[in-house]
Each structure stands twice: as C-alpha cells, then as structure tokens.
Chain A
C-alpha cells in the first residue's frame, strides 16, 4: 500500500508540474499586450513601456515561470493587473458564489435524480421507466444556456419570482439563495439527467448480483430487495459521478454565470481572458486543475482502500 501511495503521489506531483507548464505556455502566447490594453487608445508608447516594466512583462520567460510557481507554492497568487488586488482575494470572493452554486445545483440534481433513478429501476420497462428515461434523454440534449434563457424569460421577466441575475451577497442569505436558484436549476438539469441514468443502471446491475438473488430466494419481493440491499450498494458508482460532477460544476458554470451575470470563478476567468489579465487566468485555471487532480487522486485512493485488487492496476 505504501508503495502504491508513493507511486500515486509521484504521479500527482508530475501531473501538477505538467499542468503548470502547459498553462503557462498557453497563456504566454496569447496575443494582445496587457499594458497597451490597460492604457487604451491614446496611450503614449513610453507610458505603455513604463507599465510593462512595472508589470514585470519585460523579464525573461523562465524567470516569470519560476516566480509564478514559487508564488503558488507559498500561497501568493500574484496581483491582478486590471483590478490591482491580490488574486487570492479575488478568488476567495468569487468562490463564495461558485462553490454554493455548485453545491446548490448538486443538491437539486441529486434530489431529482435519486427518486427518478430508483423509480425507473423499480418499474423497469414500465410506463414510469419509459417516461423517466425519455425525460433524461431530453435533459442531456438541452443546452443549459438555452434553458437558462428560457428560465429567465418565464420566471424573472414574466412571473418575476426570481431576480434575473446578479448576486446580492451573503449578508441576506435568503436573497442570495433566491438569486442562485435559476442558475442552479439551469446547471442541475443535465446533471440530474445523467445521475438518474447512472442510478438506474447501477441499481439494475445490483439486482442481478448474487446477494440480491439470494435475498429474493429468501422470499423478499423485488421491491423489498431493491430497497433493502441494492440502493445502498449502488451508491458507490453514483457517488463517483457526483464527485466528478462537482469538479465540473465548479468550473463549468462559466456560461451560466455569464447568462446570470454572477460574480463567480467562471466569469472571473472569462473577463480576465478578454482583459488579458494573464496572472489571474493562470492562477485560477491552475487552481481548478489542482482541484480536479486532487479529487481524482482522493477517489482513486478511496477505491484502493476499499478494493485491494485495484492497487495492482497499471
């Protein structure tokens, strides 16, 4: 186990180094001089040059890479060029929009997907199963930004039940939740559809396992067997999917945050790319990649603990 752990840790570190190199390389070639952009149309060349110096853009590439990575390791994410505030501060503000939004969407999708998946599995082949599976097909086919547009039209503009966008801050938790509701629904729809399908198929797999057959042979009805034994065991693959979805939701809300003009991480990246605020883009993308890599690592580790056979996997 220790050897396995060491091996995985080494590969984790290598992955992170590779990721940082890729991100730095991609971002360094983005055309558009950030200094010229910040000073605008009538800027004098000497003013632009002065700013480039201030921003450290005239330093050699590898020095900039080292100082960036060195900063990351010591928790210093650098200072945003456009906002002129530390990136860490920007991120810690925005994460309190993106994180709750991801959690909210995940809760909504789980609340919908679990009953739907269980019902579909229990009524396999029946009308309930067919209509739920049909609905999930539709759910994965609807582009979430289009769904968001429709939600705004109906619930914000016509019915005025929810705000059309923006985020009032957590001082008023109810208002904050209200403004995250439509975005969370838009994000949750395809996730719920996927989750319901995984839940159903994982339950059906369970139902064909030996211990369920044994339970049924002992006289439990199909539904009793489902509830008493299958659901609990089917949760493992479902939880994996939830883990993956969570990492996705954290970064993937980019378009939804745009539609609802939410000040979250996704919108921060988008704005920073158009403003050529490269230090923010670098650090936030690295943070997201770090999150995903660590989540994957943890999931792998958990599996290895549960199932020793996996440790020998290549």
Chain B
C-alpha cells in the first residue's frame, strides 16, 4: 500500500498494445461504474432487508450470485459496494489532487527557496509514515466511517501528486514560452496556473487513474479490518471480512467480492497504463 511505488513502474510499452489496454481496462472500469450508477435506481433485491432463513444460498436460482450470511442478495451488495468503493477512492484521489497539485506547483514556482524545501520535506515526512498504521490511528481517533477512510487515504495521496506535479513542472519552467511570459510580467503563480497546469494535466490524469485503483485496494483493506464504511452501507472489504469464516461452507461469499476487487483494480490499472502511453508525450519523446 505504498502508493508511490506504482508510479515508478512506468514501462516502455509497445505501441501495438495501447488500444487493447484502454479497451479492456475501460470496459472493466465502465462495467463497475455502470453497476454503481445503476444501483442508485435499481438493484435486484433490497440490501437493507435481511432474510435470514434464506441465508448462504449458492449462486444461480433467484439470486444470480447467491446470498450472504444474512440472506442478502450478493449481486445487489456488489453493486452497492461498488458505489462505496468508487466514492471513497474518487474523493480520496480528489483530496490528493486538490491539495497536492497546488503544493507541487508552488514548490516548483519557488524552486530552491525555503518554501520549496518545507513542502518537499513535508512530503517526505508523510511518506515516512506507515500508511496503514496512520489510517488505523485516524479511524481510532475519529471513529470508523467512510468519511474518515477517505481522509486517511486522501492524506497519503497528497505527497504523490505534490511530488509528481513539482517534478513535471520544473522542466517546463525552463522552456522558452515561460520565459516569454515572465518577460511580459506575469506573476509566478499566474504562470503556474495558466501555463504549467495545462501542460501537466495529462500526467495527473494518468496518475489519478493509478491512485484511484490503489484507493479501491486501500478502501477494501480498511473496511476489511472494520475501519471503513459502516453497516448497513455495503462495502467489498467488509463483505470479505464477513465471509472469512464461511469460506469452507459457502466459498462464493468470499470469492465474489474478492473477484470484484481484483477486476475493478485490474481494469483501472490497465486503463491507467493505456492512457499513459496514449497521453504522456514524455514517454514518446523517450522512445524516439
């Protein structure tokens, strides 16, 4: 769950694979986004109603993916859980971008100053904390809830985006058109906003996709240890926690939510890789 490592895995991927990644990843991601969206209007069964005599039904029959230990429909739970996972991950990434990118741009604009140093050392500091431990601490202090899970995950997204934004912004500051803008008397902040930001957007989108998938995994881990969204809100991690002791009696209860997590994360990662190759001009430059 070290959210930065994934970003180092940038590979030079053959051009022929580009569309396939975007296609496959996009399909998987859209599938879950669609399920989550659909759950606002319709689910096969009401997930807040318990039907205990109907518990642990195998897949097939009335319940396409079976029922859980309270007799709830697993497909409906997966749909509602997708909503929770996506909401938590998107908002956590949102925090990372909203705070991290301006910090990174600021650091780049004031390169070499004390401000830059403070921001970058602050980033190192956050990176130095074992993320899961801090997430557990945060939820232990403020109580377990989806909102606190978002904050806990979001905090660790801030340095990822700050570092990336600074790193991407620095070379742009050396370019001629920035020099031109400075000659015209534009302030550093205005240049950051008007010229630097548009040039690093693609990179942020790619990183955002990757962080999104890490957010899904982190949300699953937190709710697995009981620190994410609270019942009756469905969440994949808690479905897994509830299912743990049932693996030997009713394997589907543990397999279905696990597979949902794997497919969603896989989809987002493929999409991120595909988008990176497609959007990021630096990779293309490197290949020339």
A residues near B, CB below 8 A?
A: 11, 14-15, 18-19, 22, 26-27, 29-31, 124-125, 130, 133, 137-138, 140-143, 145-146, 149-150, 153, 157, 194, 197-198, 200-201, 204-205, 208, 237, 241, 244-245, 248, 251-252, 254-255, 258, 266, 269-270, 273-274, 281, 285, 288-289, 292-293, 296, 314
**B133: which A residues are within 8 A, CB to CB?**
251, 254, 266, 269, 285, 288
Contact of B132 among A124, A137, A197, A255 (CB under 8 A): A255
Q: Which residues of chain B from 112 to 159 have a CB within 8 Å of any chain A CB?
A: 112, 116-117, 120-121, 124-125, 127-134, 136-138, 140-141
CA distance A314 to B170 in the complex (A): 11
B2 touches A244 (CB 8 A): yes
**A258: which B residues are within 8 A, CB to CB?**
225
By beta carbon, the residue of chain A nearest B112 is A314
B125 touches A18 (CB 8 A): yes
By beta carbon, the residue of chain A nearest B224 is A145
**A208: which B residues are within 8 A, CB to CB?**
286-287
Q: Is B285 an interface residue (CB 8 A)?
A: no
* A contact face: mostly helix, strand, loop, or mixed: helix
Contact of A140 among B14, B269, B287 (CB under 8 A): B269
Q: Which residues of chain B from 1 to 23 have a CB within 8 Å of any chain A CB?
A: 1-2, 4-6, 8-12, 14, 16-17
- Between A245, A273, A296, the greatest number of chain B beta carbons within 10 A of the residue's beta carbon is seen for A273
The stretch among B34-42, B55-63, B196-204, B260-268 that forms the contact with chain A is: B260-268
B121 touches A15 (CB 8 A): yes
**B229: which A residues are within 8 A, CB to CB?**
none
9 cross-chain pairs, A with B, having the tightest CB-CB distances, nearest first: A251-B130, A201-B11, A141-B265, A197-B9, A141-B266, A292-B128, A146-B258, A248-B2, A314-B112
Contact of A281 among B9, B111, B137, B217 (CB under 8 A): B137
- 12 A-B pairs besides A137-B270, A141-B261, A293-B125 with CB distance below 8 A are A19-B125, A26-B141, A133-B11, A138-B262, A138-B266, A146-B258, A149-B247, A194-B6, A201-B11, A248-B2, A252-B132, A288-B133
A125 touches B224 (CB 8 A): no
Contact of B269 among A19, A141, A266, A293 (CB under 8 A): A141
Contact of B127 among A26, A245, A292 (CB under 8 A): A292
The answer to whether A204 and B11 touch (CB under 8 A), given A125-B16, A194-B6, A244-B5, is yes
By beta carbon, the residue of chain B nearest A293 is B128
CA distance A255 to B247 in the complex (A): 18
The answer to whether A314 and B116 touch (CB under 8 A), given A146-B240, A194-B9, A273-B137, is yes
**B244: which A residues are within 8 A, CB to CB?**
149
Q: Which residues of chain B from 273 to 288 have a CB within 8 Å of any chain A CB?
A: 286-287
B interface size (C-beta, 8 A):
55
CA distance A140 to B258 in the complex (A): 13
Q: Is B248 an interface residue (CB 8 A)?
A: yes
CA distance A29 to B87 in the complex (A): 28
B141 touches A30 (CB 8 A): yes
By beta carbon, the residue of chain B nearest A14 is B121
A61 CB, nearest partner CB in chain B, Å = 16
* B contact face: mostly helix, strand, loop, or mixed: helix
CA distance A251 to B4 in the complex (A): 16
A198 touches B8 (CB 8 A): yes
CA distance A254 to B136 in the complex (A): 10
By beta carbon, the residue of chain A nearest B11 is A201
A149 touches B129 (CB 8 A): no
A29 touches B141 (CB 8 A): yes
Q: Is B250 an interface residue (CB 8 A)?
A: no
**B111: which A residues are within 8 A, CB to CB?**
314
A140 touches B121 (CB 8 A): no
The answer to whether A252 and B2 touch (CB under 8 A), given A204-B11, A288-B133, A292-B127, is yes
B248 touches A153 (CB 8 A): yes
Q: Which residues of chain B from 217 to 276 have a CB within 8 Å of any chain A CB?
A: 217, 220-221, 224-225, 240, 244, 247-248, 254, 258, 261-263, 265-266, 269-270
B265 touches A11 (CB 8 A): no
B265 touches A140 (CB 8 A): yes
**B10: which A residues are within 8 A, CB to CB?**
201
B149 CB, nearest partner CB in chain A, Å = 15
Q: Is B209 an interface residue (CB 8 A)?
A: no
CA distance A177 to B70 in the complex (A): 39
Contact of A200 among B11, B254, B263, B269 (CB under 8 A): B11
Q: What are 8 A-B contacts with C-beta separation under 8 Å? A: A14-B121, A15-B128, A19-B129, A26-B138, A138-B266, A145-B240, A157-B248, A204-B12
B241 CB, nearest partner CB in chain A, Å = 9
**A157: which B residues are within 8 A, CB to CB?**
248
B260 CB, nearest partner CB in chain A, Å = 10
**A200: which B residues are within 8 A, CB to CB?**
11
Contact of A197 among B2, B11, B248, B266 (CB under 8 A): B11
CA distance A135 to B131 in the complex (A): 26
B117 touches A314 (CB 8 A): yes
**B240: which A residues are within 8 A, CB to CB?**
143, 145-146, 149
Q: Is B213 an interface residue (CB 8 A)?
A: yes
B248 touches A237 (CB 8 A): no
**B116: which A residues are within 8 A, CB to CB?**
314
B221 touches A255 (CB 8 A): yes
B75 CB, nearest partner CB in chain A, Å = 19
